[in-house]
Structure 1
């Protein structure tokens, strides 16, 4: 992949992560457990970050579970609810880990060949290039849910055009 395209992909991923992080920072403590649909605010964020992390891996099999965020191991990926509640500082730390080094290292290692190859996830039957776009869309979808929830509380969040 050209350096220009790597820069664009990294920049847009970083922007989406920055917007997600801002939602975490601005969530009033009294609303950390308030529901968005049927899930608490923190759970929507955890789900989002967990799958960003997973899909930055080369494959489901190569995904390395971080014990601090996956206390029940692979069951965290399979179960509807996490094995425990996560705090604001924990999810902020997770977002920071994903921003650097995880995201930068993953995108930097991509080549034209790897991007044209399979996603690495059997349930996502498209190329690795499309996986990265899918991952950003998933991240931004749930970030939008968090932002709308906060706006209804009178808490505004910003738009990040590019970068962290």
Structure 2
């Protein structure tokens, strides 16, 4: 649903209505980050700066170094989707029970809980993007009951 919303957003609005871009970027980076087990530093192939000077359209202190295209965001999401798939199929029951420890914010949770946290985070922002899409275009992709 996330990639459907991003793919459906018009190119003309992508560069004009930047809130949609910022949410797309944010969820792509954090999807990847929360799939990093054990926890590692926050990194992304789509570079960013941590800043107190947050653009009006921004949603946190993670500021992209430039306005990435829809294609770049979608490609990054595809990489993270594969990372997630591979990770789930490689993990054992013990792996899911291990603790994921993020030292910067002192987040500590079992990996299974991290997967649920990540899924809720993606769902939350996919819903936001669909709301913006419907508001700006009068249309949004349909609900997806099951993934391919």
State the TM-score bracket (shorter-chain normalisation).
0.7 to 0.9
Q: Show structure 1 runs of 5+ residues with no match.
A: 1-18
| 1:150 pairs with 2:133 | yes
> What residue is the counterpart of 1:28 in the other structure?
10
Q: How does 1:131-150 map to 2 (within 5 A)?
A: 131-150=114-133
Contact kept? 1:76, 1:83, Cα under 8 Å: no
> What residue is the counterpart of 1:121 in the other structure?
102
Task: Kindly provide the CA deviation profile for residues 22-50 of structure 1, in whole angstroms up to 9, marking residues without a partner as x.
Answer: 11111012221455xxx621110110010
Task: Give the RMSD, CA atoms, in angstroms.
Answer: 2.2
Greater relative CO (CA pairs within 8 A, separation 6+): 1
> What residue is the counterpart of 1:57 in the other structure?
36
| Structure ranking higher in strand proportion | 2
Q: Distance in 2 between matches of 1:49 and 1:41?
A: 12
- Give 3-state SS (helix, strand or coil) of 1:104's partner: helix
Q: Distance in 2 between matches of 1:76 and 1:22?
A: 28
Q: Show structure 2 runs of 5+ residues with no match.
A: 52-59
> What residue is the counterpart of 1:5 in the other structure?
none
Contact kept? 1:115, 1:129, Cα under 8 Å: yes
Task: Kindly provide the CA deviation profile for residues 120-158 of structure 1, in whole angstroms up to 9, marking residues without a partner as x.
Answer: 324322211000000000001001000011111212211
Moved more, 122-131 or 20-29: 122-131
> What residue is the counterpart of 1:103 in the other structure?
84
- TM norm structure 2: 0.81
Contact kept? 1:32, 1:41, Cα under 8 Å: yes
| Structure ranking higher in helix proportion | 1
Query: Aligned residue pairs: how many?
Result: 137
- TM norm structure 1: 0.74
